[in-house]
Amino acid sequence: MSEFYEKISPSQRIFLTVSLMVGVFMAILDTTIVDIIVPRLTGPLSTDLYGVQWVITSYMTAAATGILLVEWLESRIGLKKVFLIGLFLFTTSSFFAGRANSLEWMITARTFQGFGESLIVVSAEAMLFSAYPPYKRGLAMGIYGLGVSFAPALGPTLGGWITELIEWRWVFYINIPIGIINFVSALFFLPEHKPKHSVSLNFISYFFISVATVSLLIVLSKGQQHGWFSSDFIVKMSFLSLFSFLFFLLSEMLSRNKLVDPEIFKIKEFTIAFLVYCLLLGFSMYQVFYLLPLFYERLKGLPTFEAGLHILPLALAVGISSPIAGVISDKVSERLPLFIAVVLYLYASFFILPKFNYYTPSWESAFKLIILGIGMGFFFAPITNLALKKLGDKTTLGVSLMHYIRFVGGSFGTALATNDIQRYMWENFQRSTEIQNERILSEFLEKISWLFWIGEKKVKALFYQVEQLHAFSDSFMRTFFVAGLWGLLGSLPIFYLFFELLYEKFIKKRA
């Protein structure tokens, strides 16, 4: 029986690529573009900053739980219909999110929007991978990687432009015309693709993994607000997550109909890619994605749109290098662009980002991000191609698990960055206070007060703000460095692949 890529013409393949990538780009863009408008939602939704954080949390939890349904839906209705349902949910929910006047309304809309996103990204990647012959799948994943990596990097720029020049509601409304056009064209011209194998859904396992995932993501997103394990709420949610994971494992062990086929982890390339996606992408890169807008807005004091412009060189570098990495992956091997990606990313993580502070010129830092962007761009296509190339009829399951661990790992990364930057700031502030000589400081403040005709209390307040600014600046440097350490840990499997390749080509050949 012929493969899917053999059944479609070149023109169909081009349309399929464009249609799927528009959907993916739109969906993934929403993960970071909404972060920009969160502070502006407190008034319209009649809530505080902690309440409005549920706008992000509800989206993440719905997307993470929806991802694990895609393989079952694919076997029932095919990937085209899964993509269309996701597109319909996402576009419709965008309209209701834009119309929201209460927190409950917005959370409901964002929940359906997150579920729609999960259907879009998994079905699109699985279909795109299957639509290209094996010798062009690196290019296909390079194109997909462009959306996965370029969209979140572009989010702050576009979100800042929309909120400053139009209104925050248009962050959601902009999805509607694009979604409608894409839905109608995909409905008539996107080719059907339904796999040969049949999958039954294990509802018990799915229930337990959903409860475990939702409670874990709530712990990670709300832990800082509630004081982590000093809060009864966080402790209870942590226990709920832990026991739900245990019951999920028990259900999988006892059931013949497994939600996640454990055989997939016996494929070495997939397991390595899975670990790299969790640690390098989730625990490290997501910290960088989270920290950079904060660096420009909170530390450098730039307006939202200007902050986005400073991240634009990073986004462009990612977008340009991602398809190049895909071509190299096809022509040579996935391991070469992966090694280049790791070297560039670790160089940026240890020798560029930790030097970013309050005194770093803004545009100088922006152009230095190009090296980081090339490293990120060279990462997505080869790691995805490596993960999926030997999966066969388990491709959709593999895609689902990769996106699932992206959400979970990314939530861990964001939580770590949030916690570290606060902790390091107060550690730095306390350390600077402890080493001060009270007499010399008092004399210095008196001189400042006398020279500039400023009251003693105002001088002390200004000095306190300067101390806090320096402590905040140093906390970014330390947090970027720690994110690099997670990146180094996540890079170890890639170094293993590279040295394995060297061994096979040189040492084994000589022997």
> CATH number, domain at 326?
1.20.1250.20
Q: Between 431 and 329, whose confidence is greater? A: 329
Residue 33, pLDDT > 90, answer no
Structure tokens at 68: 């694990």
Which domain does 507 fall in, by range?
260-511
505 with 419, same domain: the answer is yes
267 with 192, same domain: the answer is no
191 with 291, same domain: the answer is no
Residue 52, pLDDT > 80, answer no
Q: Between 349 and 78, whose confidence is greater? A: 349
191 with 265, same domain: the answer is no
182 with 273, same domain: the answer is no
193 with 292, same domain: the answer is no
Mean pLDDT lowest among 98-102, 154-158, 341-345? 154-158
Residue 351, pLDDT > 80, answer yes
194 with 271, same domain: the answer is no
Question: Residue 396: which pLDDT band, with cuts at 50, 70 and 90?
Answer: confident
Give the span between the Cα atoms of 348 and 480, in whole angstroms: 10
Average pLDDT over residues 281-307: 84
- Which of 152, 169, 200 is a domain's end point? 200
Report yes or no on 191 lying in a domain.
yes
Q: What is the pLDDT of residue 76?
A: 82
128 with 17, same domain: the answer is yes
Mean pLDDT lowest among 157-161, 294-298, 453-457, 486-490? 453-457
Report yes or no on 229 lying in a domain.
no
Q: Write down the mean pLDDT value for the chain.
A: 83
Residue 450, pLDDT > 60, answer no
Question: Residue 344: which pLDDT band, with cuts at 50, 70 and 90?
Answer: very high
Question: Residue 478: which pLDDT band, with cuts at 50, 70 and 90?
Answer: very high
Report yes or no on 446 lying in a domain.
yes
305 with 193, same domain: the answer is no
Give the span between the Cα atoms of 382 and 479, in whole angstroms: 28
Report yes or no on 98 lying in a domain.
yes
Question: Residue 463: which pLDDT band, with cuts at 50, 70 and 90?
Answer: low
397 with 288, same domain: the answer is yes
Handedness of CA 127, 132, 138, 140 (dihedral sign): negative
C-alpha dihedral over 407, 144, 375, 340, to 10 degrees? 110
- Which of 182, 200, 218 is a domain's end point? 200
Number of structural domains found in the chain: 2
Report yes or no on 282 lying in a domain.
yes
387 with 290, same domain: the answer is yes
Report yes or no on 217 lying in a domain.
no
SS3 195: coil
- Which of 200, 226, 245 is a domain's end point? 200
Question: Residue 456: which pLDDT band, with cuts at 50, 70 and 90?
Answer: low
277 with 401, same domain: the answer is yes
Q: How many other C-beta atoms lie within 10 A of the C-beta of residue 230?
A: 8
Report yes or no on 207 lying in a domain.
no
Residue 439, pLDDT > 90, answer no
Report yes or no on 231 lying in a domain.
no
